[in-house]
Structure 1
Amino acid sequence: MQDSGEHPSFTLAYVPGVTPDKWVRKWGERVPEVPLTLVQVPAAGAADVVRDGAADAVLLRLPTDRTGLHAIPLYTETTVVVVPKDHVVTAADEVSPDDLADEVVLHPLDDTLDWERPPGQPAIERPATTGDAIELVAAGVGLLIVPQSLARLHHRRDLTYRPVSAVPQSRVALSWLEDETTDLMEQFIGIVRGRTVNSTRCRPPTPARTKRPDDGTPTRKATNSKATARKTTSSNRHRTPHERAARRRLSPPRRGGNRKPRRRP
């Protein structure tokens, strides 16, 4: 997204219970020049936030209406039952739907679990939100089955929770518009997928090298010392034996001792 001054920015929406902190920190390390704005949105209709253009991407729970959207599942949450601390089910480490058959189980309107039929006995009225349902659990009206992250979000000292087996689980996913996979979106996808900063999809493309035109000009000039050596060698080849002998007599003696000249036989 861009503001009125054409400065790039990135807006990430997320539903309650999801904690994007670690990805936001990574974004700050990798893309410090682009600010990331966090917006918490209700679970119901979270996908509409990106459809309406209010956010570039959203962290939501599946299943949801994915029409016109990409969605990458990130992780699966444990499903738990929230109960008063003195409830009988707290004696077990894990409970089954059969253990809750005689209990009133609250089913809030913003529930994201994909039930065919929730376990237990239905309440007379459905609470509007998960927060409202937590209050009813504390009042002893019934129990509540939710993803574990929501149980932690609404933690109370007088309540606790236990894992529930053989029930639907919540999957947290990253979602964005199908036709809006921008460079910034690719950067965030790479972060949540754990790509390294050196990944080819997490760094800008390297510009191609420009090939020099071949105009016949040598690419490297010979050094003066090499040129001089070649010139000296060439001139030595054209001297007569008498000229070379006279040059040797006039040259200073070499290092390494006074060696006597060989006598000719």
Structure 2
Amino acid sequence: MTEMQVTPSFRLAYVPGVTPGKWARVWADRLPDVPLALVAVDAAEAEPTLRAGGADAGLVRLPVDRTGLSAIPLYTEVTVVVFPKDHWLAAAEEVAPGDLADEVVFHPLDDTLDWAELPGRPAFERPATTADAIELVAAGVGVLLVPQSLARLHHRRDLVFRPVTDAPQSQVALSWPEEQTTDLVEEFIGIVRGRTVNSSRGRGQTAAAAAPAKQPSGGGKAAGGRTGGKSAGGKPVPGRTGAKAAGGRAGGGRPRGGSGSASGGGSGAARRGRPKRKG
């Protein structure tokens, strides 16, 4: 009994705030035969998901434990403070941590910023999630410090945000199990690093190499050539009389008589060979 062939696929985990869409589109163009499955996970669950085999690779927030995991830093996000639209901070273009000394600053349990000391005044209780903290900010209870992508993810019309100077920043990385560095992982590494299909180390390069080469334009004419003043298709070529003058008709036409051909009697031979029209 023949075993069924399993269609390969690639599972990519990603944490809130990260938008893998642009890389997913490149993947679909480059490897249309390999489905890319996007797996949304909480920031705290990204590393356990990779270790448990729940995804082939993941877009995570650093730091991660590098024991058994590889990670390539991709970009660093700006830290912003989120507050109500009518808050006095709205007049500022950017905010310093010292400006928040009198503000209640929420520190959710899923916070991704590594603060040595959180500015402002602590809340009585830490919100469970960033989404919960956003609700409290909208209620006018305090403010929230988050990476800019999370502020955009939880955008509300009644809230605004401003960049914060001298604040820790969140770094996004591509991570995967070190022992599972497959061709598909290499392919995705090439995509996030901006490699072209020709410089990729994965299957995309193999697919490009296997594509049939295009025939050069005009190849048929060069291969067939011209014989006796005729094109490759056998049709006479206008203005080419040399071959006929030199050797008569190509392909063994009837040879002409000696003196008639040399002295101009060929025209007479042509008349003799023409049948008379019946009256």
2:114 aligned partner = 114
**Paired position in structure 1 for 2:238:** none
Q: Is the 8 A contact 1:78 1:169 kept in 2?
A: yes
Cα offset, 1:204, TM superposition: 2.8
Cross-structure match for 2:205: 203
Which TM-score applies when normalising by structure 1?
Answer: 0.75
1:51 has 2:51 as partner: yes
**One-letter amino acid matched to 1:178:** E
Q: Which amino acid aligns with 2:24?
A: V
- Contact 1:12/1:39 (CA < 8 Å) preserved in 2? yes
- Calculate percent identity across the aligned residue pairs: 69
Separation in 2, partners of 1:153, 1:97: 23
- Matched to 1:151, the amino acid is A
Secondary structure of the structure 2 residue equivalent to 1:204? helix
| Other-structure match for 2:32 | 32
Paired letter, 1:55:
A
Asked if residue 143 in structure 1 is aligned to residue 143 in structure 2, the reply is: yes
The 1:158/1:109 distance shift into structure 2, 3 A limit, reads same
What is the Cα deviation at residue 65 of structure 1? 2.5
Query: 1:83-102, aligned counterparts within 5 Å?
Result: 83-102=83-102
Indicate if the aligned counterparts of 1:47 and 1:66 stay in contact, CA closer than 8 A.
no
- In 2, the alpha carbon distance for the partners of 1:18 and 1:66 equals 21
TM-score (norm 2): 0.71
- 1:105 lines up with 2:105 in the alignment: yes
Q: Structure 1, residues 87-132: CA drift from partner, whole Å, max 9, x if none?
A: 1111110000000011110000000111111111111100000000
Structure 1 residues 200 and 43, CA, compared in 2 at 3 Å: closer, same or farther? closer
Paired with 2:155 and 2:47, the residues of 1 have a C-alpha distance of 26
8 Å Cα contact 1:63-1:112 kept in structure 2:
no
SS of the residue corresponding to residue 196 of structure 1 reads coil
Query: Distance between the aligned counterparts of 2:88 and 2:68, measured in 1?
Result: 46
Count of residues paired in the alignment: 213
Question: Equivalent residue for 1:190?
Answer: 190
Correspondence for 1:180:
180
Moved over 3 A (4+): none
Question: What does residue 161 of structure 1 align with?
Answer: 161
Equivalent residue of 2:95, what SS? coil
For residue 199 of structure 1, give the secondary structure of its aligned residue in structure 2: coil
Contact 2:108 2:133 in 1 (8 A): yes
Which shifted more, 107-116 or 63-72?
A: 63-72
Give the counterpart letter for 2:186 in structure 1. E
Match of 1:124 in 2: 124
> For residue 174 of structure 1, what is the amino acid of its counterpart?
L
**Residues 7-57 of structure 1: CA deviation (Å, up to 9, x unaligned):** 210000100110000000000000000000011101113111111111001
Runs of 5+ unmatched residues, structure 1: 208-249, 255-265
Higher relative contact order (CA 8 A, sep 6+): 1
CA contact (8 A) 2:82 2:151 kept: yes
Q: Say what the alpha-carbon RMSD is for the aligned residues.
A: 2.4
Given the alignment of the two structures, is residue 20 of structure 1 paired with residue 48 of structure 2, yes or no? no
> Aligned partners of 1:112, 1:125: CA distance in 2, in Å?
18
Report how far residue 5 of structure 1 moved: 5.2
Letter of the 1:46 counterpart = A
Q: Give the aligned residue type for 2:206.
A: P
Q: In structure 2, how many angstroms separate the alpha carbons of the residues matched to 1:67 and 1:80? A: 31
Asked if the contact 2:70/2:178 (under 8 Å) is kept, the reply is yes
User: For the residues of structure 1 that align with 2:15 and 2:88, how far apart are their CA atoms?
Assistant: 32
Give the unaligned 5+ runs of structure 2: 211-257, 263-279
Distance 1:140 1:189, change over 3 A: same
Q: Which region of structure 1 is more displaced relative to structure 2, 122-131 or 60-69?
A: 60-69
Residue 64 of structure 1 and its aligned partner are, at CA, apart by 2.6
The alpha-carbon deviation at position 150 of structure 1 amounts to 0.3
> 1:66 deviation in Å?
2.8
Paired with 1:79 and 1:199, the residues of 2 have a C-alpha distance of: 35
Greater share of helix residues, 1 or 2? 2
Call closer, same or farther: CA 1:200–1:176 in 2, change over 3 Å.
closer
Separation of aligned partners in 2, 1:85 and 1:125:
24
